Amino acid sequence: MRSSFLRCCLLLALLFQMISCAGAPGPVVIERPLRLNPGDTRCLAPFPDGEWQLVHSIHVALSGVSQTTLVGVTALDSMTGAVACVLMTVEGMVLFDARYDGEIHSRRSLPPFDSVAFARGLINDIRLMFFPPDGRLVASGRSGDGAFICRYRTADSMTVDVVVHEDNGWEIRQYDRDDSLIRSLKTDPDSRPAEKGPIPSRLKLTASGPAEYALTLDLIEAWELGK
C-alpha cells in the first residue's frame, strides 16, 4: 500500500506541475461556417444535464514515469456549476477531497496534493470534461470531415472547441492564448451505453507539451441524483 501511495504522489505531483505546457497544433479549421446559435443543442451534447454522482477508475500515464491507477468520485450540478470530488488510491486511501462552488474548499489534501495549483488544475480538468465552456460562442460550422464545431473564447483569452463527429463521437480541445493545444478530451460513439445515460463509459484526457501525460477514465458507476 505504501509503494502505491508513493507512486501516486510522484505521478500526480509531476502531472500538475506541467499543467500549462503547450506546443501542439492550433484550432480545428472550420471550412463551412454556420450562423451563430448559442442555444444549439449540438454544442451541449457532450455535457451531462442535472445532478450526477460518478465513480471512475483513472489510469494515469506519464512519459518517463511508471503508470498507476486511481479511483475518482465526482458529484456535479449543471445548474449551479458546483463540483465535489474525492481522489483515492485503489486501496481506498483518500489523497484529495474538495468541493467547488466558484471557490475551491479543500476538506482533505495529503502532500503533495495540498497546493493551490493542484486543486485548481484538478477542478479545471473536471470542468473541462463535464461542463460547457465558460465564455462566449465565437464561431460554429463544419470541418472538412463533416464534424460539427462550436468554438468558445474565454475571459482569459483561451479557446475551446467542442467537436461532435458524424458518428456521434466527440472531443473537446482547449488552446492557450497562442492557439497551441494544451488539452484534448476524446470519446467515441461506443462509449456512451444507454443504461448509463449521457455519461460516456470511457474518456481520455491528454495534456500536450514537452512531457505529455494522459488520463483514461473508465466509468464504474453513474447516478442521476434527485430522481
Instruction: Name which residue leads in pLDDT, 22 or 132.
Output: 132
- Quickly count: other Cβ atoms within 10 Å of residue 28's Cβ: 18
Give the model's confidence band at 66: pLDDT under 50 very low, under 70 low, under 90 confident, else very high: low
Q: What is the pLDDT of residue 43?
A: 84
| Average pLDDT of the chain, as a whole number | 84
Whether the per-residue pLDDT at 115 is higher than 80: the answer is yes
3-state DSSP call for residue 149?
strand
Q: Which of 55-69, 79-93, 175-189 has the highest mean pLDDT?
A: 79-93
Q: And the C-alpha cell for 34?
A: 454556420
The fold of 2-224 is outer membrane lipoprotein receptor (LolB), chain A (2.50.20)
What pLDDT was estimated at residue 223?
93
Express each pLDDT in 11-28 by its tens digit: 555 555 444 444 456 788
Please give the average per-residue pLDDT across 178-191, as a whole number.
83
Residues 161, 149: Cα–Cα separation, whole Å: 7
- The pLDDT of residue 209 is 66
User: Is 55 within 8 Å of 35 (Cβ atoms)?
Assistant: no
Strands 94-100 and 104-109 come out as antiparallel
Question: Model-level pTM?
Answer: 0.84
The domain segmentation of the chain, as residue ranges, is 2-224
Output the pLDDT for position 92: 93
